[in-house]
Amino acid sequence: MRTLSKRIRLLVVGTTAALFAYAAYSNRSIDVLSVHVGKPYEEVVRDSTFSVHAKTAVYPSEPPHPSSTWISSPVVIRFDDPQHGFILPPTKFGAVTYNKSKVATVTTSPMLETLAFEDLLPLLDKMQIMLKAAGWTPRDASSNDWLETTNEADRNALQSKLFDQVVIVMLLIPHKYSLALNVKCYARCNERDPKTAKYLIDVSVGSDYYSE
């Protein structure tokens, strides 16, 4: 079973603390959307500086109820579970869906633009470190482990694979949450040129339907 390298494990605590401090400081002027799966809609409104009401589509039932909240301008998404929470880098794309007026899913690309592969790697590493520190674990570490990027061979293998397919790491908080970390080539992929291709990371969070 492949695991994050010892060097990365030693950096987990310090790097995660730095990420949270950086997000709190550098994004003071950026709205925050505070959510977690199962959180009531009115609490999302209360805890967020993002204009949740204004950006939410309402299902015209009787009584009306929230259907989905849409992000189209820079915002920081804070997954505010007290034990397994995390803060994502700023995004300008995302959606929150609701079931019975509670958060059902959160989907976003935690970046403001597509990135070259060499710029994507630090973001990917930081996100894996942050999620690991918050207690998220691979659904099946034997076939779906954390992505290794610590040496040139691993990085080259990942980049080559991304020209052909989306790479997914499925993470769980067993019996509570699931999170799909999707890494994909997004633009100029058919050229298969590492210097021109652009990449995205997508994050999708929902309930854990996998654990028995």
**pLDDT tens per residue across all 212 residues of the chain:** 444 444 444 444 444 444 444 444 444 589 999 999 999 999 999 999 999 999 999 988 888 899 999 999 999 999 999 999 999 999 999 999 999 999 999 999 999 999 999 999 999 999 999 999 999 999 987 777 899 999 999 999 999 999 999 999 999 999 999 999 999 999 999 999 988 999 999 999 999 998 87
What is the distance between the alpha carbons of residues 148 and 167, in angstroms, rounded to a whole number?
Answer: 12
Asked if residue 165 belongs to a domain, the reply is yes
Domain shared by 90 and 140, yes or no: no
What is the distance between the alpha carbons of residues 31 and 22, in angstroms, rounded to a whole number?
Answer: 15
Asked if residue 112 belongs to a domain, the reply is no
CB 163 within 8 A of CB 185: yes
Domain shared by 88 and 123, yes or no: no
* pTM score: 0.84
Domain shared by 97 and 176, yes or no: no
Asked if residue 1 belongs to a domain, the reply is no
Domain shared by 92 and 10, yes or no: yes
DSSP percent split of the chain into helix, strand, coil, nearest 5: 30, 35, 40
Q: Which residue has the tokens 């973001």?
A: 123
Domain shared by 162 and 78, yes or no: no
Q: Which DSSP symbol is given to 73? A: S
Query: Which of 114, 112, 96 has its CA nearest to residue 36?
Result: 96
State the total domains in the chain: 2
Final residue of a structural domain among 103, 136, 168: 103
Q: Which domain holds residue 84?
A: 6-103
Domain shared by 80 and 149, yes or no: no
Domain shared by 37 and 99, yes or no: yes
The two tokens of residue 195 are: 């210097």
